[in-house]
Amino acid sequence: MSGAHTVIDVWDGTPSGPRDRDTNSYDSAAALRAMARVPYVTTEELEPEYQEMIVSSLQPGKTRNVYAAIGNNPAVLAGVREFFGSLWSDSGLTDRQRELVILTAASEIGSVYEWHQHANIALGVDIEADEIGAIARDDRTPFSTTEAALIGYTRAVAQGRVESPHHEAISEHFDDRTIVGIATTAAGYAALGNLIDALGVEIEAGEEFIGWEPGE
């Protein structure tokens, strides 16, 4: 897929988090060295109504560290699962579009854990490995005009710097209902990535980081 598009970038040049935008590089090693700051709860430690909430909805029977960490506060975990479940079902985006948004938000804040989880999901919804790498590099040339606008808008939301040109660009491709879904998904996953960082959530034992350029 290809398409001409205008890249709008309102970032002011100040690096934040593990991503250095001057070089478009990430301190993945530092992120991978992080240790959990809270314990990972087990199903046995939770009341029955919360036990399934630390289990992946995509991989039945497998707990995910992000849920097990948040599960130290089960009521909050329940709210988190409900909120993100709504983003998956109600945003107005296709599976491919949703994962483009999530990967873009994860790359913008440099969330290794979030990127790892969703790069693997993306490969299952017709997003190619080279497209995933392009998102990490903020290279929008492999994408259609609509998807390039989606990626650009998501980056602005994740930066907290949406300006009128961003909104005008996304409005050419999506209606107001879906724009709310896009903005909420982008902001929600950027916030989740920051929560993951705050809690020091680690990639699951036995899994290796997929890399910012999968397959390389």
Q: Could you read off the pLDDT of 60-69 as tens digits, one per residue?
A: 888 999 999 9
Greatest extent of the chain over all pairs of C-alpha atoms, in Å: 53
Local confidence band at 24 (pLDDT 50, 70, 90 cut-offs)? very low
Give the domain CATH number at 133: 1.20.1290.10
Beta carbons within 8 Å of 101's beta carbon, 6+ residues apart: 93, 150, 151, 154, 182, 185, 186, 189
Question: 36 falls in which pLDDT band (50, 70, 90)?
Answer: very high
What average pLDDT does range 200-214 have in this prediction?
91
**Model confidence, pTM:** 0.84
Q: Does residue 214 lie in a domain region? A: no
- Based on the structure, what is the number of domains in the chain? 1
- Whether 34 maps to a domain, the answer reads yes
CA distance 76 to 189: 16
Residue-number span of the structural domain to which 167 is assigned: 30-199
In a domain, 176, yes or no: yes
- Tell me whether residue 43 is in a domain: yes
For residue 10, being part of any structural domain is answered with no
At 51 the pLDDT is 95
Q: Which of 57-71, 91-105, 186-200 has the lowest mean pLDDT?
A: 57-71
Domain membership flag for residue 166: yes
